[in-house]
Structure 1
C-alpha cells in the first residue's frame, strides 16, 4: 500500500512533464506551419524551399501530392493527435476535475472586452490581436503574390505568350492571387464547427464560442473567391475567351467546377443575410448544406494536390461529423420531466457515471416525434459532480419546435414515453469561476439556465472542498412573475443531499412587466416520470471515458489508412500511366478517388473505435435501467406541486423580487467588493453587449468578464445545425434599458 501511494504521488509530476513536452512540441510545429504560410507567397519559398521539399517527398508512391501532404496536411493532423494525447493526460491528471489550474494573474486584462458595439460584436483584447495579425497575413500574402506576378519581365513574357495586353495579364494574375489568399481562410473555416475538436480544446476554445470565427472567415473567404471569379470573368470577356468558363480540362484547373463551387457558395452566402435567416430559417438551414457541393467542386476545380493546403480542417471536421452521426443513432433513456407554468420544461436523462462535463456545457437533442431532421442545442443545467447518474436540460417554449414539445408534456394526457437522441455534451475543458472571490451572474429570461449548472457546481465544492467558495450574486430578469419558477430549477427534481446554505448565494430577481405578483388560480409544477425502455441507453461520451485517447487513434489510424490506399493507387495504377508527370492522368479521377479514400478511411477507423468502446463499456448494460428504482412507480407517473408550496430548500423563497423595475447593472457592479470579481452574462445579444460595455469602462482591474453567448442558438449566427433561440429570446422593448445604462 505504501508503494502504491508513492507511485500515485509520483505519477502527477511525470504526467505534467509529459504534458509540457507535448505542449512545446505542438507550439514548435505550429510556428513552423505558420512560417510556411508566411513564406509561401515569396520567391524564396517557390524557388528554393519547395523544390527541396518536393525532391524529398515526390516518389512513385505519392507523386507530387506527397509534398503538399507533408507541408500542409501532416503538421496540423499531428498537432491534433498531440492535442488529443495532452487532453487525455490532463483528464487523468486532474481526476475529472473541471476546475482550471491556471491562475488569474495576467489573464483578466486579456479577457476584457475592447470592442462592444461594432459589427463583430464583443471582441476581447486577445481576439483583437489575432484579428490584426490575421489581416496582416492576408495583406502580406496578397501583396507578395502580386509583387512576384507583376514583375516586369514576367508580365511582358506572359502577355506575349497569351497574346494579350499587359494590363490584361495583370488582371489575370490579380484574379489568381485573390484565389490563393482565399485558401488561407478556407484552411481555417472548418475548425470552429468541429464540436469535439481537440485542437480547439487544446488552445482553450470551444466550438460554441468559436462559431463567430467561422462567420468572419466565411465572409472573408466568399469576398475573396467572388472577386477571384469576377476578375477571371472580366479577363475572359475582354480577351474574347468567355467560353473558358464552360471548359473542364482533363488535367490542370477545371473552370466549370470552379464556377459550380462559386455559384453554390454565393447561394449559401446570400442565404445568411439577416432578413432571410430570420424570416425563413428553414430555407437558410437547408441551403447551408450546399457547403458539401462547394467543397467537392473546389477539390475538382484545383485538384487534390492543391486541395491538401486546406485539407486538415476539413479532415478533422469529417471525423467529428461522423462521430456525431454514430452518437445520434442511440436512443437515450429519458427518466422524467418537470413542466413549469411559465411554459418551460426540464428534461432529465439517465447518464453514465463515468461521463464528466464542465458547467455551461450544451447538448443537441432530436425528438423524432416532433421532427426527424431538427436538432436543437440546449444548456446542461445539471452538474456531473452533484448529479452523477443524471443529466438535465431546460427548454423554454419560444419557437415552433419547443412549443410542440411543451404541448406534448403539458397536455392533460401527456406522452408516457418519448424517444430522444442526443449529441454531446460539448463545453469548456475547465472552468475558473470558482477561483474568484465573488461571482456576479447576470441573466435575461431563460439565460439563467447556464448559471444553474454553475451554482450546482459551487454547492458541491462548498460541501466537499476545504477552501472557501466565492460569494455568488445572481441577477435575473424576467417578463412576468410566473417566469420566476425558473429559479426552482437550481435544485434537481429529486432534491439534494448537500447543504445549500454553505454557499453564499444572493438572488435578485426582477419582474419587468408587472407591478405586483399575478397569480390567477393555482400554478402547478408537474413532474412526469416516463416508462423505461430496454433499448434505451444512458447519456455517455461517443468514445467513452477515454474519448481523447480514442480520438488520437482515429485521427492517426484513418490518416495511415488513407496514405496506404493512396500509395496503392499511385504506385500500381497512376504511376504506370503518367510517371509523375501530372499531365496525363485526369485530375477529376484522381480527386474523386482521393475523396472516396478519405471518407472510407475515416468511416473505417471511427466505426472500429466506436464499436470497440461499446464492447469494452461494461457499465453500459448496467446503466440502461438506471433511475427505475427512483421513480415514484414502476411506469408512467405524473405528480403536481403547487408554486406556493415549494420545498423548504428551494431558492425561490430566498430570492429578493423586484416588481416593475429593471436592474441597474452599473450601480450593482460598482457596489461589489473583492480582489477578484467574475462577471458572467447570459441572455440576449443587446444585453450582453451593454454589460460588456459597462465592464470595459470600469476602472477595476480585478474585474473578469465573460459572455456566455450561445452562438449556436443565437439568431445572429450562421450554424450548421437547426437551432432554437432558448437563451436569446427576449423582445426589443425589454432590452432597451441596457442601452441606457452606459450613458448613466
Structure 2
C-alpha cells in the first residue's frame, strides 16, 4: 500500500512538473512579442512590485522560481523512486512503446549519431530560435522609420544595431540551458532520463550556437559604433543600464573558451582546453554585470543549480578515499579497488571522477565503475588503461619495482543512469574496442547477480572484444572481482568472442601475469559514499529550496533597508554594478551556507557507518603493510578461468559486426557499443540499415 501511495505521489509530481515546464516554455515563446512586452510584463511588474524585491522580484518569480521548483520536485520524485525500488536498478520502464524513437536515425552527419527523439527536439529548439529572432526583429523594426528620422542615422545602421540586440537576446535562450547539461548530479536531468556524460554533446551544440550568436552580437555593435562615429562606446561602463566594457570582457572570455574547444586543441592539448574552461566564471560574472541582475534572472536557474552541484562536488573532493588494493595488468592497465560504504548503490555503467594529487592536483578524469553494488557490497572498482600522460604516470607509479605503501586519491561521484533495462532484452550484444570493455564488466557482474538471485530469466550475452595485441587479453580477467565471491557463473549464458587485430598468432613472449598491490590505510581515509548519503536526493531538494529562500531573505533585507531608501524602486538611480555584485555575493553565501550545513549534518549522522571495513582481512598482507601479492600468478589459476578459457580468440582479423548481428536469433536484441568513434559509427550504421526492429542500439562511450 505504501508503494502504491508513493507511486501516486510520484505521478502527481511528474505531471505537476510538466505543467510548470509547459508554462515556462510558453513564456519563452511569448517573450519576443508585443503581447508580452506591452501587456503581460507591465502587469506582472505592477503586481510583483514591492519594497522588498523591486523590479528583480518579478524576474525572479517569472524565470527563476519555476525551474528551481521543478528541480526541488524532481529531487523529491527521485527520493521516492529510490525508496520504492529499494536500490533495484531494474525499475519500471515508462513509454516503452517509444523505443523506436531512440534508434539511430542519422549516423554520419556533422552532429554524430542522432536518434529520432534528438532530431525532433533539435528541430523544435532551432524553430524556437528562429521564431524568437524573427519576432524580435519584427517588433524592433516596426517603429524604425520614426526613430531614424529623430536620430538622423541611416536606416541600415539602425537595423544593424537592432539586429545585434536581437542576436544577443536570442543567445540568452542557449545560455539559459547551457549549464543544466553539465550539472552531474542534476535532479532535472535524472528526471527526464539523461545523464551528465550523455548530455555533454548537447552542451557542446548549445555552446557553439551561443558563442556564434554572442560573437555576432558584439561585432554588430562594434561595426555600428564605428560607422556612426561612436567608437568611444567600447570603453563605457555605465552606472545605470547596460555596461559595454563588462560585455566585452564576458565575450572575450567566451571566445577564448570557444577557441580551445577546437578538436585540434581539445585532443592534442587537453590541459589547455580543460584550464581555459574555468573562464566560465569570468564569463558569467561579467555577463551579469553587463545586463544587470534583473535581466540575468532569465539565465540564472541553470547556473544556480550548477553552482550547487559544483560546490557539493568540491566538498566531496576534499575527502581522501581509502584505496585498498590495485591489480596491475601486463597490458598497462590497473584496477583500483576502493573501500565503499555498504549503503552506496549505483547502476551499471556509472562513472566516478578521480584525482591523484601526487600526479596532478588539478586534473580530474572520468572512469567507468566496473564493480557491481550488489555483488561488491564493500568495494568499488575502476579500470584505468595507460593511454595518456596522466594514466601512464599512474601505471608507472603502481608498477614500480619499489611498491608504494599509500596513495592519496580523491573522487567525485558516482554518477550514472537512474536505472538500466538490459534485462528487458532477450539477448545482449556487447561490442567493445580496447579499454571500452570496462563498462560491460559492470553490466556482466550485475546480470550475473540477477541470474543467481532472481527467478526471472536474464538475457543471453554475446561479448565481442577487439584488442590490438594478445597481451590485452588480460583485460578479460577483470570480469570477476578480485575478492573471492562465491557465485555460480554457469547460471549466466555468456559467450565471448575476442579479436586480436594486429597479431597473427599468440605472442608467447608476453608475460601474462597479474600483480596485486595492497595499501596501508590512513586514519583520515574514508570509504566511497554519496556526497549527501543514502538520502542524497532528499537533501539535494532541501538544499535547492532552502538556499533560494535564504537568498530571497537576504535580498529582501538589502532592498528594504538599503537600496529602496535610495532609489524607491527606480532602476535609474542605484548602480547596476553594486546591485549585481551584491546579488551574486548573496547567492554564493546562501548556497555555501546551506550546502555545507547539509553536508556536515549528513557526515555526522553517518559517522559510525563510515568506519572503514577492510574486505581483505583474510589476507595477511593487510596487517603487515603493503607490497605485491600473488606475483607471477598465471591466468589459468585465476577464479575467472572458466570465462577466460571459454573465450574464442580470432587472430589477425576484425569482427564482422553485420554478419554477427544477422546471425543473432532473438525477438529483442540490445546492441551496446563502447570503444573508438569509428567502431561506434559502424555499429550504429548497421543497426540503422537493418529493416528489422529487433536491434536496439546504445552507445556507452564518452564523446568529449
The 5 A counterparts of 1:300-311 are 300-311=289-300
Structure 1 partner of 2:32: 41
Cα pair 1:529 1:632 within 8 Å, conserved: no
Q: Does 1:676 align with 2:668?
A: yes
Structure 1 residue 637: deviation in Å?
3.5
Equivalent residue for 2:682, pick from 674, 682, 690 = 690
Q: Does 1:117 align with 2:108?
A: yes
Structure 1 partner of 2:649: 657
Question: Cα deviation per residue 1:412-451 (whole Å; 9 max; x = unaligned)?
Answer: 1111111100000110010001111000000000000000
Structure 1 residue 523: deviation in Å?
2.7
Structure 2 partner of 1:642: 633
Equivalent residue for 1:403, pick from 377, 382, 392 = 392
Structure 2 partner of 1:629: 617
1:631–1:418 CA distance, 2 compared to 1 (3 A): farther
Moved over 3 A (4+): 618-621, 641-644
The 5 A counterparts of 1:85-96 are 85-96=76-87
Equivalent residue for 1:333, pick from 322, 341, 362 = 322
Which deviates more, 512-521 or 139-148? 512-521
Structure 1 partner of 2:442: 453
Cα pair 1:500 1:649 within 8 Å, conserved: no
Structure 1 residue 287: deviation in Å?
1.3
Structure 2 Cα separation of the partners of residues 62 and 648 of structure 1: 66
Q: Does 1:259 align with 2:228?
A: no
Q: Does 1:543 align with 2:532?
A: yes
Equivalent residue for 1:239, pick from 210, 213, 228 = 228
Question: Cα deviation per residue 1:314-358 (whole Å; 9 max; x = unaligned)?
Answer: 000000000000000000000011000100000000000100000
Structure 1 residue 495: deviation in Å?
3.1
Structure 2 Cα separation of the partners of residues 105 and 673 of structure 1: 22
Cα pair 2:325 2:516 within 8 Å, conserved: yes
Number of aligned residues: 700
Structure 2 partner of 1:440: 429
Cα pair 1:111 1:126 within 8 Å, conserved: yes
Structure 2 Cα separation of the partners of residues 629 and 280 of structure 1: 43
Structure 1 residue 628: deviation in Å?
5.3
Equivalent residue for 2:362, pick from 365, 370, 373 = 373
Structure 2 partner of 1:203: 192
Instruction: Normalising by structure 2, report the TM-score.
Output: 0.98
Structure 1 Cα separation of the partners of residues 230 and 299 of structure 2: 30
Cα pair 2:340 2:380 within 8 Å, conserved: yes
Structure 1 residue 75: deviation in Å?
0.4
Structure 2 partner of 1:27: 18
Q: What stretches of structure 2 of length at least 5 have no aligned partner?
A: none
Cα pair 1:514 1:659 within 8 Å, conserved: yes
* 3-state SS of paired residue (2:383): strand
* 3-state SS of paired residue (1:459): helix
Which deviates more, 49-58 or 674-683? 49-58
* 3-state SS of paired residue (1:106): helix
Structure 2 Cα separation of the partners of residues 621 and 165 of structure 1: 71
Equivalent residue for 2:659, pick from 660, 664, 667 = 667
Structure 1 residue 103: deviation in Å?
5.8
The 5 A counterparts of 1:175-190 are 175-190=164-179
Structure 2 partner of 1:268: 257
Structure 1 Cα separation of the partners of residues 488 and 164 of structure 2: 67
Cα pair 1:366 1:422 within 8 Å, conserved: yes
Structure 2 Cα separation of the partners of residues 372 and 200 of structure 1: 29
Structure 1 residue 48: deviation in Å?
1.2
Structure 2 partner of 1:730: none
Cα pair 1:351 1:540 within 8 Å, conserved: yes
Cα pair 2:236 2:243 within 8 Å, conserved: yes
* 3-state SS of paired residue (1:177): helix
Q: What stretches of structure 1 of length at least 5 have no aligned partner?
A: 1-9, 712-716, 718-744
Structure 2 partner of 1:418: 407
Structure 1 residue 104: deviation in Å?
7.4
Which deviates more, 349-358 or 267-276? 267-276
Equivalent residue for 2:544, pick from 536, 551, 555 = 555
Cα pair 1:409 1:415 within 8 Å, conserved: yes
Structure 1 Cα separation of the partners of residues 78 and 95 of structure 2: 21
The 5 A counterparts of 1:72-91 are 72-91=63-82
Equivalent residue for 1:140, pick from 117, 131, 139 = 131
Equivalent residue for 1:149, pick from 137, 140, 157 = 140
1:580–1:648 CA distance, 2 compared to 1 (3 A): closer
Structure 2 partner of 1:13: 4
Structure 1 partner of 2:516: 527
Q: RMSD in angstroms over aligned alpha carbons?
A: 1.1
Which deviates more, 34-43 or 284-293? 284-293
Question: Cα deviation per residue 1:15-48 (whole Å; 9 max; x = unaligned)?
Answer: 0000000000000000000000000001111111
Structure 2 Cα separation of the partners of residues 350 and 538 of structure 1: 5
Cα pair 1:578 1:584 within 8 Å, conserved: yes
Structure 1 residue 648: deviation in Å?
5.0
* 3-state SS of paired residue (1:208): coil
Instruction: Normalising by structure 1, report the TM-score.
Output: 0.93
Structure 2 partner of 1:6: none
* 3-state SS of paired residue (2:237): coil
Structure 1 partner of 2:98: 107
Question: Cα deviation per residue 1:632-652 (whole Å; 9 max; x = unaligned)?
Answer: 321213221433433254311
Equivalent residue for 2:504, pick from 497, 511, 515 = 515
Equivalent residue for 2:468, pick from 479, 499, 505 = 479
Structure 1 residue 460: deviation in Å?
0.3
Structure 2 partner of 1:98: 89
* 3-state SS of paired residue (1:584): coil
Structure 2 Cα separation of the partners of residues 628 and 502 of structure 1: 26
Structure 1 residue 171: deviation in Å?
1.2
Structure 1 Cα separation of the partners of residues 237 and 639 of structure 2: 74
Structure 1 Cα separation of the partners of residues 162 and 118 of structure 2: 33
Structure 2 Cα separation of the partners of residues 477 and 31 of structure 1: 46
* 3-state SS of paired residue (2:198): helix
Cα pair 2:323 2:337 within 8 Å, conserved: yes
Structure 1 partner of 2:45: 54
Structure 1 residue 370: deviation in Å?
1.0
* 3-state SS of paired residue (2:200): helix
Structure 1 Cα separation of the partners of residues 635 and 75 of structure 2: 50
Cα pair 2:471 2:510 within 8 Å, conserved: no
Structure 2 Cα separation of the partners of residues 310 and 354 of structure 1: 37
Q: Does 1:710 align with 2:667?
A: no
Cα pair 2:161 2:224 within 8 Å, conserved: yes
Structure 1 partner of 2:452: 463
Q: Does 1:284 align with 2:273?
A: yes
